[in-house]
Chain A
Amino acid sequence: MDLSQALEVASHTDPGMVREHNEDSIASIAEKGLVVLADGMGGYNAGEVASGMATTVITTELRQLLDNKAPHEVDPQSGQKAALKMLQEQVTKANTSIYQASQSQPQYAGMGTTLVIALFYDNKMMVAHIGDSRLYRLRGDEFSQVTKDHSLLQEQVDAGMLTKEQAKHSANKNLVTRALGIDPAVEAEIHEYDAQPGDIYLLCSDGLSDMVGDDDIGMALQALGANLNLAAQQLVQMANDNGGRDNVSVILIKILREYPARQGLASKIFGWFR
């Protein structure tokens, strides 16, 4: 089914004030309810290759998969939704592709990327993420971080070694504990959430979350939520105003209305006219 009526998507990506290359990569297929954001790393321009490969492989493959199978369908054997398997498989595929490319082509050696995927279906959202790119949610007045970074810093916070306040000023912000394409195998963290009309979701690379405080991001979203495009540009602008030391990418998704999965005959008839 076509979700472009139920979801409004806006995105913006910018190299920032310091870097020459934009190693971030974003992609979205609004009608399939799929958004992907990747923040590449690696020397020369290998980072943008890694992030580009990740978003391209995932959107290309998922577009085909979603054409053939509805993500909300439950697999009778595993009892899990098709979306989970799709995401797991595609993350694995992207990881293998990047890893092999970095192994076989010297100029890409050691490249890798973070990844956030959000897939919307049946009034739900499934999020897969690896690394320190984040997904936030604005619901009513409450702005909160949905994903938990796979970073050394986060682990230190979890272990009680640092407080959140200390973490803000920590030196080793950029050390991720998981990334796509670094090892032969990687596991993405995947969760499913309820989505409600009026929610605004923000996917961003660490170029935004390192430069702009969560409170400021939340306030900007609340103020500009009516105009997503403007909001996306404003967030990038805020990061750049604060120094813009890294590439900044944001994807904003607003839930305009409910989007329950269509069942049975009606969807077939409707589908015929597509």
Chain B
Amino acid sequence: MAGVGAPADAAAPDPNVPVAAPPAGPLAPFVTLLKEAEQTLNTDRRLADSFTRAGNVVPMTLFELGEPRGRPDKPLPDYVTKNNLSKIGKGAEDGMLPTRKVDFPIEIIGKAAVALGHLNATPDVDGGTRTEPLVLGYFDQVYPSLSMMVAARSLNLGVADIKVQPGEKVSLGKLNIVTDPATRMYTYFYKDRDARPAFPVDSFYDVITGKIPVSKYQDKIVLIGPTAAGLGSAAVTPVSPAMPPVLVLAHSVSSILSEHFFVAPPWGYWVELLVFLLIAAYLIALLPRLKAGMGAIVTAALLALLLIVHFVLMTSAAMWLQLMLPLVLLVIGHVLLVTKRFVLTEAGKVKSDADSAESNRMLGLAFQGQGQFDMAWDKFRKVPLDDGLMDNLYNLALDFERKRQFNKAENVFQYMAGHNPKFRDLEARLNRAKVMSETVILGGGSSHPGGSMSLGTGAEKPMLGRYQVEKELGKGAMGVVYQGKDPKIGRVVAIKTMALSQEFEADELVEVKERFFREAETAGRLSHPNIVTIFDAGEEHDLCYIAMELLKGKDLIPYTKPDNLLPVDKVVSIVARVADALGYAHKQNIVHRDIKPANIMYDAESDAPKVTDFGIARITDSSKTKTGMVLGTPSYMSPEQLSGKKVDGRSDLFSLAVSFYQMLCGALPFAGDSMAQLMFRIASEPPTDILSVRPDLPPGLVAFLDKAMAKEAEERYQTGDEFAAALRAAFGGGAAAATGGGGVDMDISL
């Protein structure tokens, strides 16, 4: 139990114990034996003798920590009190741990020892030993620790050389040890290096048996104590969970001598408090306001900062600021706050799930109502499938079908089949959607120039606006023409579609569309027996469309072929009526801009010519990218139109005259090998003499045509009515021509 500092042989039993001389007498051998026994069996004395001989042994005392309540039982013996240290400053009670009782070695040993030191450990609240109480107060006396005494002795210092400033520092000669407020030193615990223990531990047995030569301990501090497991009370230290007290002592002695102890600066307490409060303030005020991610980042940063500061101070400045407490507060506080937030949102989530399902359904319906089926589908998919939703989905799928988006319809049907494959006619619809989605070009004619809509059989009739598309009538310059039907009033219409978004760049598209609808609106105001009536205009997908009167006949192009010409009186009659129609339109300030045989519909049965495409025909004039294509051949254009000037009705009449010329003789008045040549001819050369192409035409016609195709607009017929009247007059009486041709004209043509 005793810690003994001395060369190792000091504790070994001495074989050469002096034996007193035997007294004379019969009892002499007995007495001698007795004395000898007294000598050999009195181990205390033998130990004391050994201490005396060594002269450098420091045994330990043990204090009972605690506030003394009265006075000591009796004064301590001299050999104890001689260790009483002198202190500077405050009283013994302040600044050092008080004790009320002390166990000290028996007199014989105590007197033999060179000094005494206490071996009290002061574990922290967590049970770990990190400090060494350098002094303990005993009533008004101050007693040093064994470690400090050993260190002092090894420096050949005595009790007088030790100065204690309670709560601040202890001076061993010139060596200053800064302490905590209880005059404890923050011991540095040495780590094992390369698997070698910091302090060599030798077995006592090896020393006794001579296995280890005693000379090994020459000039060294030797600490003696039990190290085997189970002997003595092991201490928890920063480097080991179970360290024998003797090794703790070794660390302490070494810390003192090497000045490796940690220093807790006097202002440390305030700094620690401040950091603690700052962390608390962060947790209270800032963290709840931060978003989760930001909060985690800030907390992690603070955590790292505290750790780094703590360890940098410890390792480089040997300064100990207790930052672990704020650190623990930070971690626990953050975890608790995050948990609370999570629990709260979870609770809210369960409630909002039901809410959001309903609101998603509503939003889906809203989007579907707005025609945004894809977004509607997105929303519906977030709603748990139930029977109520099946109806909504079914409608959405039908909407997709009507838009010819069969792959999307199929997706919806398949999604529905996951809930109830027997729903209505789901199976049949799913199969058909599958077939259609494989065969049909989708997405509003994405790859089909002119924005075609495929008309499959057996599937939903595609819708354009409110019109059911029934069949394709033909392809125009800009798009396909369909026959459609307004299901509400049963009117059959022709629907002309234009894929404007393919013809135009995105930046002009808006403007073009605006213009398209403006033109359609203007044309919609026209009401004339020889003008195609426009009912409606709209936009669907990327298709713009115009719904107009469905005509039986075809355009006049077939009658411009030399071998298929109409009788002259017929031609005159048609052209005159077209001129009437143009006159009507021009009075309303509407210019057609693209009069040509292709834009005049004619039904031979009812003998009714109708001008079509009013206003919209030249919608693509502004197209920058595809001007050439849209232009086609400008054979029917007036000179002013070609030069890009503002055109009026007289330009239409010029074009009508060109068409008239072509229908009379099957050739164009202006022709050229190239576009440039053609344009030059229109602008500056007179038309080819029509009699050179068809000599049998009445000569009056030449004069009419010359005037109608004059280069200067002022020189032409100024209005449609004037044009028609002149035309009819040129053929011997307007009445005959106006009624659709009489015998006289027939004779001429034959």
Q: Which residues of chain A have a CB within 8 Å of any CB of chain B?
A: 49, 52-53, 55-57, 59-60, 93-94, 96-105, 107-108, 273-274
Contact = CB atoms under 8 A, between A and B. Distances in A.
Contacts of A60: 359, 363
Given A49-B365, A52-B362, A96 B370 contact: yes
A189 B749 CA distance: 73
Interface string B366-378: 1111110000000
Interface residues of B, number: 20
Contacts of A100: 368-371
Interface of B: 286, 289-291, 358-359, 361-363, 365-371, 391-392, 395, 399
A274 B267 CA distance: 37
Contacts of B367: 97
Given A100-B371, A273-B289, A273-B290, A105 B395 contact: yes
B369 A49 contact: no
A197 B369 CA distance: 41
B362 A53 contact: yes
A56 B366 CA distance: 9
A108 B395 CA distance: 11
Nearest to B362: A56
A94 B289 contact: no
B366 A97 contact: yes
Contacts of A103: 369
B290 A104 contact: no
The 8 closest A-B pairs by CB, nearest first: A100-B369, A97-B366, A101-B369, A56-B362, A97-B369, A56-B359, A273-B289, A52-B362
B3 to A, nearest CB: 61
Contact of A49 (B362, B370, B399): B362
Given A52-B358, A97-B370, A99-B369, A104 B363 contact: no
B290 A53 contact: no
24 contacts: A52-B358, A52-B359, A52-B362, A53-B362, A53-B366, A55-B362, A56-B358, A56-B359, A59-B359, A60-B359, A93-B366, A97-B369, A98-B369, A100-B369, A100-B371, A101-B366, A101-B369, A102-B369, A104-B369, A104-B399, A108-B365, A273-B286, A273-B289, A274-B289
A100 B369 CA distance: 4
Given A99-B369, A101-B365, A104-B399, 10 more contacts: A49-B365, A52-B361, A53-B362, A53-B366, A55-B362, A56-B358, A93-B366, A98-B369, A104-B369, A105-B395
Contacts of A102: 369
A274 B291 CA distance: 7
B353 to A, nearest CB: 15
A93, A97, A273 pick with most chain B CB within 10 angstroms: A97
B368 A57 contact: no
Contacts of A273: 286, 289-290
Contacts of A57: 362-363, 366
Nearest to A97: B366
A96 B365 CA distance: 11
B368 A101 contact: yes
A60 to B, nearest CB: 6
Nearest to B402: A104
Nearest to B370: A97
B156 to A, nearest CB: 65
B290, B358, B369, B370 pick with most chain A CB within 10 angstroms: B369
A258 B361 CA distance: 37
A264 B256 CA distance: 62
A274 B290 CA distance: 6
A23 B392 CA distance: 18
A122 B344 CA distance: 30
A85 to B, nearest CB: 19
A223 B366 CA distance: 41
Contacts of A59: 359
Contacts of B391: 107
A56 B363 contact: yes
B359 A96 contact: no
Contacts of B286: 273
A273 B362 CA distance: 33
A57 B358 CA distance: 12
Contacts of B366: 53, 56-57, 93-94, 97-98, 101
Contacts of B392: 105
A226 B37 CA distance: 100
A49 B367 CA distance: 13
Given A273-B289, A273-B290, A104 B368 contact: yes
Contacts of A101: 365-366, 368-369
Contacts of A56: 358-359, 362-363, 366
A59 B366 CA distance: 13
Nearest to B399: A104
Nearest to A56: B362
Contacts of B362: 49, 52-53, 55-57
B679 to A, nearest CB: 46
A270 to B, nearest CB: 9
B555 to A, nearest CB: 37
A59 B362 CA distance: 12
Contacts of A52: 358-359, 361-362
A96 B363 contact: no
Given A105-B395, A107-B391, A53 B370 contact: no
A171 B542 CA distance: 51
B295 to A, nearest CB: 10
Contacts of A274: 289, 291
A26 to B, nearest CB: 11
A94 B289 CA distance: 35
A99 B366 CA distance: 9
Nearest to B290: A273
A179 to B, nearest CB: 16
Nearest to A60: B363
Contacts of B361: 52
A17 to B, nearest CB: 24
A100 B368 CA distance: 8
Given A49-B365, A53-B365, A57-B363, A104 B370 contact: no
Nearest to B366: A97
Nearest to A99: B369
Nearest to B291: A274
A106 to B, nearest CB: 8
A93 B372 CA distance: 13
Contacts of A96: 369-370
Nearest to A27: B359
A245 B268 CA distance: 75
A98 B290 CA distance: 40
A104 B397 CA distance: 12
A49, A56, A102 pick with most chain B CB within 10 angstroms: A56
A174 B105 CA distance: 107
B405 to A, nearest CB: 15
A101 B380 CA distance: 14
Contacts of A108: 365
A227 to B, nearest CB: 22
Contacts of A97: 365-367, 369-370
B692 to A, nearest CB: 62
B365, B368, B392 pick with most chain A CB within 10 angstroms: B365
Contacts of B368: 100-101, 104-105
Nearest to A273: B289
